[in-house]
Amino acid sequence: MGPLEGVKIVEIAGIGPGPFCCMLLADMGAEVLRVDRNDSVELGIVMEPRFNVLNRGRRSIGVNLKTPEGVALVKRLIADADALVEGFRPGVMERLGLGPEDCFAVNPRLVFGRMTGFGQEGPMAKAAGHDINYIALTGALHAIGHKDGGPVPPLNLVGDFGGGSLYLAFGVVCALLEARRSGKGQVVDAAIVDGAASLMTFAYGLLRADLWTDERGENTLDSGAPWYDVYETLDGKHVSIGAIESRFYQELLHRLGLDQEDLPAQGDRAGWPKLRARFAEVFRTRSREEWSILLEGTDTCFAPVLSIDEAPEHPHAAARGNYVTIAGIKQPGPAPRFSRTKPEIRCAPPVPGEHTEAALRDWGVSETEIAALRAAAAIR
Burial (CB count within 10 angstroms: exposed 0-12, middle 13-18, buried 19+), residue 329 = middle
pLDDT in tens, the chain (380 residues): 899 999 999 999 998 899 999 999 999 999 999 999 865 445 567 889 999 999 999 999 999 999 999 999 999 999 999 999 999 999 999 999 999 999 999 999 999 999 999 999 999 999 999 999 999 999 999 999 999 899 999 999 999 999 999 999 999 999 999 999 999 999 999 999 999 999 999 999 999 999 999 999 999 999 999 999 999 999 999 999 999 999 999 999 999 999 999 999 999 999 999 999 999 999 999 999 999 999 999 999 999 999 999 999 999 999 999 999 999 999 999 999 999 999 999 999 999 999 999 999 999 999 999 999 999 999 98
228 phi, psi to nearest 5 deg: -140, 80
Q: What is the CA radius of gyration of the chain?
A: 25
**CA–CA dist 145, 161 (Å, integer):** 20
pLDDT of residue 42: 52
**CA–CA dist 111, 10 (Å, integer):** 10
Let me know the angle formed at the C-alpha of 113 by 107 and 118, rounded to the nearest 5 degrees.
Answer: 140
Report the amino acid identity of residue 123: P
User: Which residue out of 131, 160, 194, 229 is catalytically annotated?
Assistant: 160
pTM of the model: 0.95
Q: Decide if 282 contacts 257 (C-beta within 8 A).
A: yes
User: Which residue out of 102, 130, 238, 299 is catalytically annotated?
Assistant: 130
Q: Decide if 221 contacts 200 (C-beta within 8 A).
A: no
pLDDT of residue 46: 80
pLDDT of residue 44: 65
Residue from 96, 66, 95, 77 nearest 34 by CA = 77
pLDDT of residue 179: 98
Q: Does domain 8-199+324-375 have CATH number 3.40.50.10540?
A: yes
User: Options 3.30.1540.10, 1.20.1110.10, 3.90.1170.50, 3.90.76.10; which CATH number does 228-232+238-304 get?
Assistant: 3.30.1540.10
Active-site annotation holds for 160: yes
- How many C-beta atoms lie closer than 10 Å to residue 57's C-beta? 29
Active-site annotation holds for 82: no
Residue from 53, 87, 92 nearest 160 by CA = 87
- Domain extents in the chain: 8-199+324-375, 228-232+238-304
